[in-house]
Structure 1
Amino acid sequence: MKLIYLLPLLAFTSPILAQQKALPAPLKLVTEQGGEIVSEFAAPANMKGYVADFKGQVITLYITADEQYLFTGPMLDANGNNVGEQAANDYATGPKAQKDWQTLESSHWIVDGSASAKRVVYTFTDPNCPYCRQFWQNARPWVDAGEVQIRHILVGILKADSLGKAAAIMSASNPEEVLKKFENDNLARTLQPLKNPPEHINAQLMKNHQIMMGVGARATPATFYHDANGAVKMQMGLPPASLMTEILGPRPSKLTK
């Protein structure tokens, strides 16, 4: 995995705590840096606990009874239980997960797989990412069987020519076929980065990058999927073999023709 620089979080309106002016003053330290206070929960010692979405990361915050001091991170009770864990998980697996999935749907992605596939998976892909190419290869049994459709959200973050290569793929008359050839290594060494991409392609790649930051992805591949219970989950980096069936479903025994 390769870490990337942070960009400002995509703004969204909190359905729970829309009136930021009513929040304790120390929370402005969070909101002024792009964070969003999304819920409040009971905390010990007359403090108030809050859940925040900070640049795609779900964090817990605590305000002292006099509303003058702010603490961040986990708070443990005498038994080692994380006081804010349930509230954070409720948001992460509920409103945030659904919002993130809708945001992914609005990105500019390239399809890999059948339109009638029962399962849809989103993954952020950089043309220079070897782990993205390995994930592509590892997913062939599911995609070729028509069971899974993978939607590749192209970004250009790893090398100087990543953006140009992503633009070259997205500008093609048949980007699905070009991406397929590229990930199969037929074009990996010969694809020339686009030096002056069309304005609309630049805009699409910028939106993809912003969405990547907004959903908390910090490396490629970053793969989003629904687990067996329907919850949205994210796998950062190349999924291990043990996780492939959770992401893509049962391994197909036969390929569809």
Structure 2
Amino acid sequence: MLPVSKKMALWFGWTGFVGMGVLAAGIWTVDLLGTAHAQTNPAAAAANYRPLVDKLSAGRATVLSTFAGPDGLTGLVVGPANGAGPKSIAWGIDGENGPVLIPGPVLDSQGKNLSQQAAERHGVIPKPMAGGKLAQAMLAAPGFTVGTKGPLFTVFLDPNCIFCHDFWTKAYPLAKEGKLRFKVVPVGFLKPSSLPKAVTILQSKDPMAAWAQNEASFNVKTEEGGAKPAKVLDPKVLAEVKANTELLARTGEVATPTIVACLKGDKTPQVFHGMAPGMLTDLGRGASIKGDGTCS
């Protein structure tokens, strides 16, 4: 068991575990005071957690390598079992009843994202793109804009993401009322059907209407969007959605919804992983992101 103290690291998240389709939510407290990093044999650690990752991902993901984490945690580099697709950082710990998997980000008491640091250190992701450059790239990326008035921001959405569904149900009515606008950059990574659904929506004659229908028929229990993948996927659009997903990884986390926006007083856009309570109100009072990556 891990000791708990006033100096803690927190684990929490809405992040999708790449290749696994596992969503996490909760808080993990870890004592970081004077505790040595776990010294675990890499091969033994991989063998310890690989069966759990395999089970939770239904065989779609595997442990590629391991490293010593803080306070007894074992860091895991996880990727698709078939070798095709992005990697992710997870954490493991030996619980009383066997290994426990932590797919969400781990923060230390200073707010530093240890998962992001590990991802950069182990070559899982490059250093996060600055908000201004990311805003420019998202405005130029394939997608669609919802709304015609109000401050403009951009957002990465996966068609099977339950938290994206929550975002849509709250933001879409505000956009129709002219209180805000948002550019949707479709991605597909949460479930095997995410990519074909995103491509199907983006290749339709009216992507915004198609996405709205996906959300209107969203199955909350199974966390599945209502879109039905087309039998034939346009290769060009398929490449575009894959590129959008790679761009999402440049934010520092493969998680949705990821929002890039200008709050009131900002000169450059900020990157937000997830939607905090009251955030849409703040976005409605903020500024628009401009094509040059600045705030209006």
TM-score by length of structure 1 reads 0.58
In structure 2, give the amino acid aligned to 1:236: H
In structure 1, give the amino acid aligned to 2:202: M
Shift in Å at residue 109 of structure 1? 1.3
Structure number with the bigger relative contact order (C-alpha 8 A, sep ≥ 6) is: 1
Residue 200 of structure 1 is aligned with which of 236, 257, 260?
236
- CA distance 1:226–1:189, shift in 2 (3 Å): closer
1:112–1:152 Cα contact (<8 Å) kept:
yes
1:46 maps to: none
What SS class does the counterpart of residue 233 from structure 2 fall into?
Answer: coil
Residue 199 of structure 2 is aligned with which of 167, 173, 184?
167
2:168 maps to: 136
- Residue pairs, 1:20-169, within 5 angstroms: 33=123, 55-57=126-128, 96-114=130-148, 117-169=149-201
What SS class does the counterpart of residue 17 from structure 2 fall into?
Answer: coil
Q: What is the CA–CA distance in structure 2 between the aligned matches of 1:197 and 1:212, rounded to whole Å?
A: 21
Q: What is the CA–CA distance in structure 1 between the aligned matches of 2:216 and 2:157, rounded to whole Å?
A: 14
- CA distance 1:31–1:217, shift in 2 (3 Å): closer
1:3 maps to: 17
Is 1:182 aligned with 2:218? Answer: no
Alignment deviations for residues 161-208 of structure 1 (CA, whole Å, 9 cap, x no partner)? 111111110111111111122222279765321344111111111210
In structure 2, give the amino acid aligned to 1:241: P
1:236 maps to: 273
2:160–2:194 Cα contact (<8 Å) kept:
yes
What SS class does the counterpart of residue 57 from structure 1 fall into?
Answer: coil
Q: Which runs of 4+ in 1 moved over 6 A?
A: 186-189
Structure 2: gaps of 5 or more residues? 1-13, 19-78, 80-84, 88-119, 287-296
- CA distance 1:182–1:245, shift in 2 (3 Å): same
2:54 maps to: none
- CA distance 1:186–1:133, shift in 2 (3 Å): closer
Shift in Å at residue 7 of structure 1? 4.1
In structure 1, give the amino acid aligned to 2:146: D
1:62 maps to: none
- CA distance 1:194–1:226, shift in 2 (3 Å): same
- CA distance 1:247–1:31, shift in 2 (3 Å): same
What SS class does the counterpart of residue 260 from structure 2 fall into?
Answer: strand
1:133–1:183 Cα contact (<8 Å) kept:
yes
1:126–1:220 Cα contact (<8 Å) kept:
yes
1:85 maps to: none
- CA distance 1:156–1:145, shift in 2 (3 Å): same
- Provide the identity percentage: 21
1:108–1:153 Cα contact (<8 Å) kept:
yes
Aligned length: 170
- CA distance 1:156–1:234, shift in 2 (3 Å): same
What SS class does the counterpart of residue 145 from structure 2 fall into?
Answer: strand
Q: Give the greater-gyration-radius structure (CA).
A: 1
2:180–2:283 Cα contact (<8 Å) kept:
no
Alignment deviations for residues 115-169 of structure 1 (CA, whole Å, 9 cap, x no partner)? xx23111111111111101101111342122121111111110111111111110
1:226 maps to: 262
Alignment deviations for residues 34-76 of structure 1 (CA, whole Å, 9 cap, x no partner)? 9xxxxxxxxxxxxxxxxxxx62438xxxxxxxxxxxxxxxxxx
Q: What is the CA–CA distance in structure 2 between the aligned matches of 1:212 and 1:186, rounded to whole Å?
A: 23
Shift in Å at residue 225 of structure 1? 0.5
